[in-house]
Amino acid sequence: MKRILAASLLAALPALAGPYDQPYSIITVDRARSADPDLRPVIVNRVDGKTVLSDNKAVVPPGSHQVTIDLPPRRGFKTATQHTFPLETQPCTRYHVAAKLASPTTQEWKPVVRSTEAIGECEAKFKVAGAK
């Protein structure tokens, strides 16, 4: 009886695994100021249709994702705008996303990955060297 219980618990463990239990990627906002006045900070809204709830970042498995970001209203505009774009993430890599304005006088913009960086603790934990 104990063996059956132990086997069923072990079978359920993958369902209980968290996002940091396997190689992962992080999609987050770029908080660094830019010399480019057309680069604006955004809000990471959803990844693959799931709402991002924690600290404006999404922890996802490596692979293809659909990322939805919002550009809050800025001076002269009353509404926020939103874009969904595809992003192929690599293991143990953080992606900083932002908005690139087409013009400071319009609501037109495109999502950009402003920078990427290796996640050292992920690389060490999962022995992923040079994940990019």
Distances from the Cα of 14 to the Cαs of 6, 18, 47, 60, 108, in angstroms? 14, 9, 21, 16, 43
Q: What is the pTM assigned to this prediction?
A: 0.82
Under a CB-based contact definition with an 8 Å cutoff, are residues 99 and 40 in contact? yes
The pLDDT score that the predictor gives to residue 125 is 93
pLDDT at 11 over 60: no
Q: Taking residues 64-90, what's their average pLDDT?
A: 93
Residues 106-115 have pLDDT tens digits of: 899 999 999 9
Residues 19-62 have pLDDT tens digits of: 899 999 999 998 888 899 999 999 999 999 999 987 889 999 99
